A and B are shown apart, each in its own frame.
Chain A
Amino acid sequence: MGRFLHRRGWLTPYALLTPGMGWLLVFFVVPMYYLGKMSLEQGFFPLFSFGWAWSNFSDAVSAYQTQFVRSLQYAGIATAIALAISYPLAYWIAFRGGRWKNLFLLLVIAPFFVTYLIRTLAWETILSDNGLVVTFLHNIHILGSNGRLLATSAAVIAGITYNFLPFMVLPLYVSLEQVDPRLIEASSDLYANRAVSFLRITLPLSLPGVFAGVLLTFIPAMGDFINAQLLGTPRQYMIGNVIQSQFLSLRNYPTAAALSFVVMGGILVLVLIFARALGTDRLTAGAAA
């Protein structure tokens, strides 16, 4: 067998690829095919029939435009806040963490030991109208006496930010960790002050991490529905809530499938634009080096 593989060395990479490709085929390509087929079906549950019903797409988009735009906004804001919080955090762990680095990283992912749903329910308690946070904000008059946090857009965005924060911190940390401190030393030798060093050396070198972090946060945030359901009101519902209700409550599978494709397509386009703007070729090259 060994000699066989040795003689047919060109086969080895393909043999190694088989499990991964097989997995993708069974759990990605095949479901995608059926989802695609379903999105073009028509009729009422349980008797759907295939009929190239492209109108499913246009109807879905025009009916749920509000939720699409809202999802983009919430996911965008949550990603921006997560980036603003994570960058200094990852920077600090990478450059000042010293021998505690691993402990700090563990703390960042520690919430993941608790189920997603439970974490979100915990936020429901934290932001409760009679909870500590709201009472405190009332006392210092940031919130009016009738003001609340729970069941507002702020609560939903905060929930999304919190839930996906580690996805932002980890890639940022990895790229910042790889920055060679000698480069920063060299820049100060060349009379760059700390701000210039950061802007010209550290920031550009960490961009692959920013790119990865933004994608890892934005994509799941865009499709999220738990935060809106538990921490929001109907006026905060996102496209994920619509897809969930189309699938499970209305059993309108074609519309649900069409909506899923629109979300996927939308995200893909946004990612391509984003990659273009940041110049991924340079980024991946930077990451490889």
Chain B
Amino acid sequence: MSDRYSRAGFLRRAAAGGSVLTVPGLLAACGGGGKAVTTTAAAVAKTLPKTIVFSNWPLYIDVNKAKQHPSINQFEAKYHTNIRYIEDINDNDTFFGKIEGPLSQGQSIGRDLIVLTDYSGLPGRMVQLGWLEKIDKSAVPNIANLQPAQRHPAWDPNREYSLPWQSGMTGIGYDPKKVGHEITSIDELLTSPKLKGKVTFLTEFADSIGLVMLANGDNPSKVTKASFERALKRLQKAVDSGQIRQFTGNDYAPLLAKGDIWACAAWSGDMVQLQADHPGLKWVLPKAGGIIWTDNMLIPKGGNAYAASVVMNWFYRPQIAAEVEDYVNYICPVVGADKALEKNDPAVAKNTLIFPTNEMLANAHQFDITAVNNQKYKQAFQHLIGA
């Protein structure tokens, strides 16, 4: 894209006045912002900018010994462009807090791609608020490799705004040596006297409420007032009695490794990484079921939709997805990545926490997004976790 049609330039001019909207090239540069995009204008827009900005979570991509990301290096070499890869998303809510100011004012946040979790309710919210650019599907033929189960989430039924980056399951992490036997149910975490004060749950609303709902025999994909209150009450009881020691983010990992806690609600991918240093630790999907969530690549308003779509397409090549997967160890949304991995790293390809069996997937439930965005529920949950 020439400098004249750069995104920053567009935004400047757009701010200057509405007259620019008559220039078709600029219209296309804003990434499908108008209907009257002529073919020539579209062709102008479909060259890549010098730099593509990609914000993601830490430790969420392949890294080589030189601390570079081979999957990104290969992209840059092939497309003669740069990706500025920033690991500045640590928490859905906090990151959203940072970007909502500019987005609500109609300003660009200087990023072409960001990654947020579906069950935080935020990707769905951003779709509703019109804060996302549509994916340029013509640039993403590899979308055909998307796992069938992931194709029609309720909040973005045709994947017009989002593509999964990784998924993960929420279940039980525990130390069999301390506990002395196998744990298969959340009930045990909530009531076993032996585990009193040695249990943590997650600050993420959908994880904690969802797991307890499943233990109660309720359906977390369709939250009702009654089922929510049952789960909340049960958690409250365990907090009041001192059974639950804390609500944590990723920080349950060192606590479990040090033996401060013996069992906890835990994310599958974290446990794979933790097991590398602490092979004794175990992760299980509770018999009553666990929660599955997906981190989604999104194009915030003002981002370059075409460039972002090309990057998405790249990471949906099975070979590239396999390279990322070999390092990341969460659940890969790309069909065929396991085949590609079998040659290089069969242990990872066979790990059911990374490529779960169909039986596991059938018992991993998506959490009801409308419940997450219900202010009353969220308020009650925050009150439960102490604030």
* A234 lies within 8 A of B384 (CB): yes
A237 to B379, CA, bound (A): 16
CB 8 Å contact bits of A55-72 with B (1 = contact, 0 = none):
000000001000100000
**What is the size, in residues, of chain B's interface with A at 8 Å between Cβ atoms?**
29
Residues from 241 to 293 in B contacting A, C-beta threshold 8 Å? 242, 244-247, 251, 258-260
* A129 lies within 8 A of B379 (CB): no
Given A46-B129, A130-B259, A151-B197; A247-B239 close (CB under 8 Å): no
A249 to B239, CA, bound (A): 20
* A129 lies within 8 A of B246 (CB): no
Taking the nearest CB of chain B, how far is it from the CB of A253, in angstroms?
Answer: 10
In the complex, A250 has a CB within 8 A of chain B: yes
* B97 lies within 8 A of A237 (CB): no
B387's partner among A67, A146, A148, A230 (CB-CB below 8 A) is: A67
- Residue pairs across A and B with Cβ atoms less than 8 A apart, 29 shown, are A46-B129, A125-B258, A128-B260, A129-B260, A130-B258, A130-B259, A130-B260, A148-B197, A151-B246, A230-B251, A233-B239, A233-B246, A234-B239, A234-B244, A234-B246, A234-B247, A234-B386, A234-B387, A235-B239, A235-B386, A237-B386, A241-B387, A244-B387, A245-B387, A250-B375, A250-B379, A251-B97, A252-B375, A252-B379
Chain A contacts for B97, CB-based, 8 A: 247-248, 251
A187 to B205, CA, bound (A): 66
* B93 lies within 8 A of A249 (CB): yes
A230 to B252, CA, bound (A): 11
In the complex, B382 has a CB within 8 A of chain A: yes
Closest residue of chain B to A64 (Cβ to Cβ) is B387
Chain B contacts for A236, CB-based, 8 A: 386
In the complex, B158 has a CB within 8 A of chain A: no
Interface size bracket, A side: 20 to 34
Residues from 84 to 112 in B contacting A, C-beta threshold 8 Å? 91, 93-94, 96-97, 100, 104
In the complex, B233 has a CB within 8 A of chain A: no
In the complex, A157 has a CB within 8 A of chain B: no
Chain B contacts for A54, CB-based, 8 A: none
A46's partner among B100, B197, B258 (CB-CB below 8 A) is: B100
* B260 lies within 8 A of A44 (CB): no
Chain A contacts for B387, CB-based, 8 A: 67, 234, 237, 241-242, 244-246
In the complex, B237 has a CB within 8 A of chain A: no
A287 to B385, CA, bound (A): 46
* B379 lies within 8 A of A233 (CB): no
Residues from 274 to 289 in A contacting B, C-beta threshold 8 Å? none
In the complex, A150 has a CB within 8 A of chain B: yes
A242 to B251, CA, bound (A): 20
In the complex, B378 has a CB within 8 A of chain A: yes
Closest 3 interchain pairs by CB? A234-B386, A237-B386, A245-B387
Chain B contacts for A46, CB-based, 8 A: 100, 104, 129
A234 to B375, CA, bound (A): 20
B382's partner among A128, A232, A245 (CB-CB below 8 A) is: A245
Chain B contacts for A230, CB-based, 8 A: 251
Given A128-B258, A128-B260, A148-B197; A250-B246 close (CB under 8 Å): no
Chain B contacts for A249, CB-based, 8 A: 93, 378, 382
Closest residue of chain B to A150 (Cβ to Cβ) is B260
Chain B contacts for A151, CB-based, 8 A: 197, 245-246
Closest residue of chain A to B96 (Cβ to Cβ) is A251
Taking the nearest CB of chain B, how far is it from the CB of A233, in angstroms?
Answer: 5
Chain B contacts for A44, CB-based, 8 A: 375
Instruction: Among A44, A46, A230, A234, find the residue whose CB has the most chain B CB atoms closer than 10 A.
Output: A234
Residues from 150 to 185 in B contacting A, C-beta threshold 8 Å? none
Chain B contacts for A234, CB-based, 8 A: 239, 244, 246-247, 384-387
* B382 lies within 8 A of A233 (CB): no
Chain A contacts for B258, CB-based, 8 A: 125, 128-130
* A248 lies within 8 A of B93 (CB): yes
A252 to B100, CA, bound (A): 13
A151 to B245, CA, bound (A): 7
A41 to B251, CA, bound (A): 35
A247 to B382, CA, bound (A): 12
Closest residue of chain B to A225 (Cβ to Cβ) is B387
Closest residue of chain B to A44 (Cβ to Cβ) is B375
A130 to B378, CA, bound (A): 35
Chain B contacts for A130, CB-based, 8 A: 258-260
Residues from 175 to 197 in A contacting B, C-beta threshold 8 Å? none
A150 to B93, CA, bound (A): 27
Chain B contacts for A244, CB-based, 8 A: 387
* B94 lies within 8 A of A248 (CB): yes
Chain A contacts for B245, CB-based, 8 A: 151, 233
A150 to B378, CA, bound (A): 28
* A233 lies within 8 A of B386 (CB): yes
A151 to B197, CA, bound (A): 9
Taking the nearest CB of chain B, how far is it from the CB of A234, in angstroms?
Answer: 3
CB 8 Å contact bits of B339-367 with A (1 = contact, 0 = none):
00000000000000000000000000000
Taking the nearest CB of chain B, how far is it from the CB of A71, in angstroms?
Answer: 12
